[in-house]
Chains A and B, each alone.
Chain A
Amino acid sequence: MPKIALFVTCVNDVAFPSTGIAAVRVLERLGVEVDFPEAQTCCGQMQYNTGYPAEAKPLAEKFAGDFRGYDAVVVPSGSCGAFVRDVHPRLLGADDPPPVYELTEYLVDVLGAQDVGAYFPHRVAYHPTCHSSRLLKLGDRPTRLLRRVAGLELVELPGAQECCGFGGTFSVKNPDVSAAMGADKVAHAVESGAEYLIAADNSCLMHIGGTARRSEAPIKTLHLAEVLASTADSPYGASA
């Protein structure tokens, strides 16, 4: 039985625990043993990308310590996954890091799964977040998984490749441009006719969803893991 360590990420831990729970459910359903190293906290991306590499380094060191010895680390976030994989080795001087997989990479590449036995009877659009598509190069892994979800209708998102405008501290340092980008993303999501906008990053979804709620736009946001965790027996929303 494959065994992984879940890096839930600090944002998911505090603000979107349902995403972490969903990731655990999907992985366990597919026969994976999930461990959650409880010392884990944050990857340090915010510090690093805001210009504080010295403040990010202790977190990279801590991450390496917390996840040492695991065969695989699975992260339900494209952005944190990319940061850990691309930047941590640079910060630490390439000290044999554990293999880190974003959730869909692990499902598709390692488990060879396409149909994860999910059921989600809704019309959805998928937003390829910038870091998951340009840094991790997830490609069509997320949509391959989504297409095999029973009851799910996947519709095209206009301007899918365009950034939503979150950008970490960019969202508060350049709030006007960030908001303008967010408003366009919400407009595109509404235009797609989807009920849910799905992505692999909750921080982007927090920005898009917060923009949508403020403008009362008819679109809901949801992390991909929660779609994949939803089954006919235990559909999304029933137990939450």
Chain B
Amino acid sequence: MKDVYLGMPSFPEAARTATKDERLRANLTRATHTIRDKRAKAVTEIEDWAELVEAGKAIKDHTLRHLDEYLLQLEAKVTEAGGQVHWARDAAEANRIVAGLVKAADGGGDQIREVVKVKSMATQEIGLNEALAAEGVAAYETDLAELIVQLGDDLPSHILVPAIHRNRTEIRDIFRANMARYGRPAPEGLTDAPADLAEAARLHLREKFLRAKVAVSGANFMIAETGTLVVLESEGNGRMCLTLPETLISVVGIEKVIPSFRDLEVFLQLLPRSSTAERMNPYTTMWTGTAAGDGPRTFHLVLLDNGRTDTLADTVGRQALRCIRCSACLNVCPVYERAGGHAYGSAYPGPIGAILSPQLRGTASEIDASLPYASSLCGACFEACPVAIDIPEVLVHLRARVADAEPGHRAERAAMQAATYAMTHPAAYRAAEAAAIKARRLLPPDRKLPLGPAKAWTETRDLPELPKQTFRQWWKENHR
């Protein structure tokens, strides 16, 4: 995946810094609680929400079970409609394909040096902007929040609102300092009023829309039956990119396919209410290949695997591929709220990232091995998920994978084995209990346990003093 995430510190380490950043905490708490409350309201408006969730889950599961057939059908339909389909095994291959297509695009005699981008998680995942930059092509983000992130030399920290960690004063400062470097500078005397900030972005972006020859997008859904791609957005900037340039390149994960146009109905209800808490998103753009005299003349679809087939092979973990990137799980997650999105070390932060990244990238790196533990297993994510991904179940499943693979977990396994031994051998259990009661403490001194749990606990919390008698002893003396 993206080079910028290589060598990220483990989640607990990154989170330690974030929990101490008061401004970040305040920005995140305000933003997540606002959208959390709105979502809850938007969802209760629909009487059969639970049935809709079931339907969404069923459609996704069915599609994933027959993914091979639907992808081939999609390819045939897109090709029939005048599009060209490319298959990318991993990030490097996808980046290579897109760079090649951009360079080969018709620039009216000039080589293409810039593309405009629709907000897309798949291209974040593969680090497309950096890859294009290395080929001398500038990729301009046109989603307002992605623009803020790009101008601030920053990384997105949320799936839906990538600049959630920024407040408007910070945004004004970023616009003032950096807009000129990327194109039209910020207006003189720019204030931090939302309307002024939006106008500054509008003027800055309009210039790029009118000039762009090539656009790059992702897609929320791909319909196998018709070969139609669907993008949902709020600003209309996406539609600018999807309609104005002559060449459109869409990079889409293979799990985004759904069988038929009818299935879309379910997701067009689930997604907006779960993500922006709107009954309907302002812009839904659909296109099927190319149409003479209307929209892009050339359309390329790059179908991205990048770990998805491996994920699909895992019977517990594969449910992560149902994800429709609504980010409801981020907005209800107490861990995300306090650690912030950057601590997750990937384009996919929050609970869904904690189960997606270790599956797409594997668990070899420090950050990926730590992600399955980045949860108290409170279950708020599962409760909010519009396609019923049991995130806690997958987290626990991935913890087992990490524990099995990592040599660093040997001491922990030994401790767990010792605990199980004591708990299944009455004499050992009684001895351990007696020792704990005698010492009047719950955890032995630090050096006896891996990972220093006693220290980790007692830095911020007192341990209860143990009573003089266990329940078992009380029962024996008073009850039997």
A24-67, CB under 8 A of B: which get 1 and which 0?
Answer: 10000000000010110110101111111101101100100000
| A24: B residues at CB distance < 8 A | 475, 479
Q: Is A21 an interface residue (CB 8 A)?
A: yes
Partner of B338, one of A15, A41, A171, A180: A180
| Contact assessment for A172 and B451 in the assembled complex, using a CB-CB cutoff below 8 Å | yes
Given the known inter-chain contacts A55-B420, A210-B463, please indicate yes or no for A176 contacting B15, CB distance below 8 A.
yes
Contact: B474 with A17, CB < 8 Å? yes
Q: A14-B466, A50-B399 are in contact. Are A59 and B412 (CB under 8 A)?
A: no
Inter-chain CA distance A52–B399, complex, in Å, is 8
In the complex, chain B residues whose CB is within 8 Å of the CB of A14: 433, 436-437, 442, 466, 470-471
Within residues 161 to 212 of chain A, which ones have a CB less than 8 A from any CB in chain B? 161-163, 165-183, 206-207, 209-211
Contact B461–A210 (Cβ < 8 Å): yes
Residue from B413, B426, B436, B457 within 8 A of A171 (CB atoms): B457
Identify whether the interface residues of B are mostly helix, strand, loop, or mixed.
helix
Partner of A130, one of B378, B437, B453: B378
Q: How far is the CA of A207 from the CA of B469 in the complex (A)?
A: 21
Residue A155 at the chain B interface, CB threshold 8 Å: no
Of the listed stretches B270-278, B294-302, B367-375, name the one at the interface; the rest are far from the partner chain: B367-375
Interface residue stretch chosen among B163-171, B192-200, B379-387: B379-387
Chain A residues positioned under 8 Å from B134 (CB to CB): none
Smallest beta-carbon distance A164→chain B, Å: 8
Given known pairs A51-B396, A58-B424, A172-B453, the reply for A17 and B470 (CB within 8 Å) is yes
Interface of A is mostly: helix
Chain A: CB-nearest residue to B468: A17
Give B429-480 interface residues, CB cut-off 8 Å to A: 429, 433, 436-437, 442, 451-453, 456-457, 459-464, 466-467, 469-476, 479
Chain A interface residue count, CB cutoff 8 Å, equals 64
Q: Does A182 lie within 8 Å of B461, measured CB to CB?
A: yes
Bound: A210/B463 CA distance, A? 6
- The count of chain B contact residues (Cβ–Cβ below 8 Å) is 68
Distance to closest chain A CB from B217 (angstroms): 35
Q: Is there a chain A Cβ closer than 8 Å to B12's Cβ?
A: yes
Q: Is the CB of B379 within 8 A of A130?
A: yes
* 10 shortest interchain CB distances as A-B pairs: A167-B376, A51-B399, A210-B461, A163-B378, A17-B471, A172-B453, A20-B471, A179-B460, A51-B403, A134-B379
Listed A/B pairs (22) with beta-carbon separation below 8 Å: A13-B470, A14-B433, A14-B436, A14-B442, A15-B466, A17-B471, A17-B473, A36-B475, A41-B422, A51-B399, A51-B402, A59-B423, A130-B377, A130-B380, A135-B379, A162-B334, A162-B380, A174-B374, A176-B20, A177-B374, A211-B460, A214-B460
